[in-house]
């Protein structure tokens, strides 16, 4: 089975690079991005990832806007929203906007891996039509 392709989007470079490396060491195919505007060029050039880990608050583009644009571009991409701010109202908004899950930082890597696997399985089921 192919490695799950995960696109990580967060303006905190050290965080996103470290998390990408931690996931890569656990068998995921990861690509870290620090600028939300680069997401769509990357998806167009490299194809859709299975899962996007997306920070809710970024200076160049709001995570909810990025989520909406990802879902317009390819509704099958599963998005897990990450945030170090906020709480339940934002999580509800993210889920209504099409996010698979909403996770607060600091992140438990084991929990995150479970959510990534669940999201990728859901995407692959949708693509296979089952």
Q: What does the pLDDT look like over 25-46, one tens digit per residue?
A: 999 999 999 998 899 999 999 9
Q: What are the tens digits of pLDDT across the range 4-20?
A: 999 999 999 999 999 99
Rounded CA-CA distance 19/129 in Å is: 31
- pLDDT > 90? residue 49: yes
**Distance, CA of 126 to chain centre:** 17
Over range 63-81, report the average pLDDT.
95
List, in sequence order, every residue forming a beta bridge with 82; answer none if it has no partner.
55, 103
Supply 105's token pair: 């930082």
CB 34 within 8 A of CB 59: no
Global pTM value: 0.93
Over range 104-129, report the average pLDDT.
94
């Amino acid at each position: 089975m192919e490695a799950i392709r995960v696109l990580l989007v967060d303006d905190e470079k050290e965080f996103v690079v470290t998390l990408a490396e931690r996931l890569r060491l656990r068998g995921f195919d990861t690509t870290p991005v620090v600028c939300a505007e680069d997401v769509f060029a990357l998806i167009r050039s490299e194809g859709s990832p299975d899962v996007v880990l997306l920070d809710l608050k970024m200076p160049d583009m709001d995570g909810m806007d990025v989520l909406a644009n990802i879902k317009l571009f390819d509704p099958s991409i599963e998005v897990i929203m990450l945030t170090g701010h906020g709480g339940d109202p934002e999580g509800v908004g993210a889920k209504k906007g099409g996010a698979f899950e909403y996770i607060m930082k600091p992140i438990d890597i084991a929990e995150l891996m479970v959510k990534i696997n669940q999201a990728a399985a859901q995407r692959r089921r949708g693509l296979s039509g089952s």
